[in-house]
Amino acid sequence: MNTSPLAGKTAPESILTNIPRLISAYYSEKPDPSVPAHRVSFGTSGHRGSSLNHAFNEDHILAITQAICIYRQKNKIDGPLFLGMDTHALSIPAHISAIEVLAANGVNVMVAANDEYTPTPAISHAILTYNENRTDGQADGIVITPSHNPPVDGGFKYNPPHGGPAESPITSWIEQKANEILENELKAVRRMTYKKASKSATTHEHNYIDPYVADLSQVVNMHNIRDANLNLAVDPLGGAGVHYWGPIAEKYNLNLDILNKSVDPTFRFMTVDWDGKIRMDPSSPYAMAGLVDLKEKYDVAFGCDTDHDRHGIVTGKSGLLQPNHFLSSCVYYLFNHRPQWSTDTMIGKTLVSSQMIDRVAKKINRKVLEVPVGFKWFVEGMYSGSLGFVGEESAGASFLRTNGKVWATDKDGIIACLLAAEMKAVTGQDPGEIYAQLSAELGEPVYDRVEAIATPEQKQKLSKLSPAMIQQKELAGEKITDILTNAPGNGAPIGGLKVTSKNGWFAARPSGTEDIYKIYAESFLGNEHLKKLIGEAQEIVDKALK
């Protein structure tokens, strides 16, 4: 993975996205459904792409929205649809296109008051709040976001009545129907003008901010944070939660500096990510360089990605915490400070998250449910309350209310950030210090994730990695203990391969959101052992790509 010379530096003018060109292409460029790259494709989190390469254009959004309307009718989902968008440039035109179709189909759609941006967790919270104690007329939602992806991208995802990411059978059905609509030149699309749709009796303004902010005290001990009088800071990274942090600080009387209130679709205020691209990834030390520089000024500082479903935590001693370190600290802290949670409540993790989580779980006598990458695998457990905390190595997490009931069934970067402050307020230790104690007792793993460009064809090859490709009996000098192509927690295919030994593991899989592949590896024996793990994993990937 070659690091760009621009990494960690403020984005130069030369790499900024031409926003007028991007928006023009949304309307002017027409996808050809006979070309695979032009078709609707739901990855791990919705359909994503850029209008500049015929992957996220008006026709896509019209087709997907109509497919969702047909899905709702087919499954008798007739309550309101909560619609939100983030701050990517393509989100506003996609929002307009969606409203035109939803209104023409008679869907009661709830749009944010004053055209406000809406974080993903606020949509999940709104769906679950509305559906509580309802069996008929349930709500669902659409979130328009490509998450932390670069400014050229757009994204569109569907959340059914359980409030979380739609399961594969649902997204496959919507994807197939949307492509069928594209192939038939949008003849099935019902649509009215935006002027008419925005004034339709079925289009309603909804206040997402106040109910979400008011309920935060049911999931995070906000009074502890207030009483500790901590110095806190947040960088919203120009994302959808930019106007949420002010009301949070005001309602709970927090000493919270909001370091950047700017919304700019070029994201020119960002520091550049590892590969020379602008990417609003709060787990990246390059993207978070500005906040890391201020680490000694605050007790705890944090940032969220563009739809605020991911978190990044910065502390004075640790700087930017690796996501796995924070997840491990969260597990230890929550299961020792949530007395109303059931003793049977489990921990959910993706199979590319740290084995440190398993060691912490064993220490506190809790079971772990290990699932493939994708937050959709946690929805059922979060909804039922059987999973108390769930997390993934890409800095996504959520957890139950303090009373053990569901908070949200999608990732929530806001509560993860506030939990970091709660840890400091209650224990006097920040999450990095808590992790240091855990690693001193349970072992100190080293972890890395390697990424490289991959074509759609190469990604397809990588998704079919199999145990038969592993001829060796040892992994980096240790006996191989397991070769997995299905997750141990639920038996679902992982879309790649994971190989484990006593003190290390690696996993290889194509990204579900970008044209890259990823190799994850972790060692409890140090950096040299980690390098061997990654080297052997790379050899397997190289063979698969030939």
Instruction: Report the catalytic residues.
Output: 147
Q: Please, which residues bridge with residue 499 across strands?
A: 483, 506
Question: Which spans in 412-507 are helix H?
Answer: 413-427, 431-442, 456-462
Here the contacts of 455-462 (C-beta below 8 Å, separation 24 or greater) are 455/515, 456/36, 456/37, 456/515, 458/510, 458/517, 458/545, 459/510, 459/511, 459/515, 459/517, 460/510, 461/544, 461/545, 462/496, 462/508, 462/509, 462/510, 462/517, 462/541, 462/544, 462/545
Distances (CA, A) of 237 to 88, 166, 268, 308: 11, 26, 10, 9
Residues in the chain: 546
Closest by CA to 424, choosing from 342, 329, 501, is: 329
Structure-token pair, residue 477: 């000098």
Closest by CA to 222, choosing from 250, 194, 198, 201, is: 250
Angle formed by the axes of helices 413-427 and 431-442, nearest 10°: 80
Structural element, H or E, at residue 324: helix 323-334
Whole-angstrom Cα distance, residue 121 to residue 111? Answer: 15
Structural element, H or E, at residue 109: strand 109-112
Residues 412, 400 contacting (CB under 8 angstroms): no
Could you tell me whether strands 203-206 and 109-112 are parallel, antiparallel, or unpaired per DSSP bridges? parallel
Whole-angstrom Cα distance, residue 374 to residue 349? Answer: 10
Residue 144 dihedral angles phi and psi, to the nearest 5°: -100, 100
Question: Which spans in 145-233 are helix H?
Answer: 168-183, 194-198, 209-215, 222-228
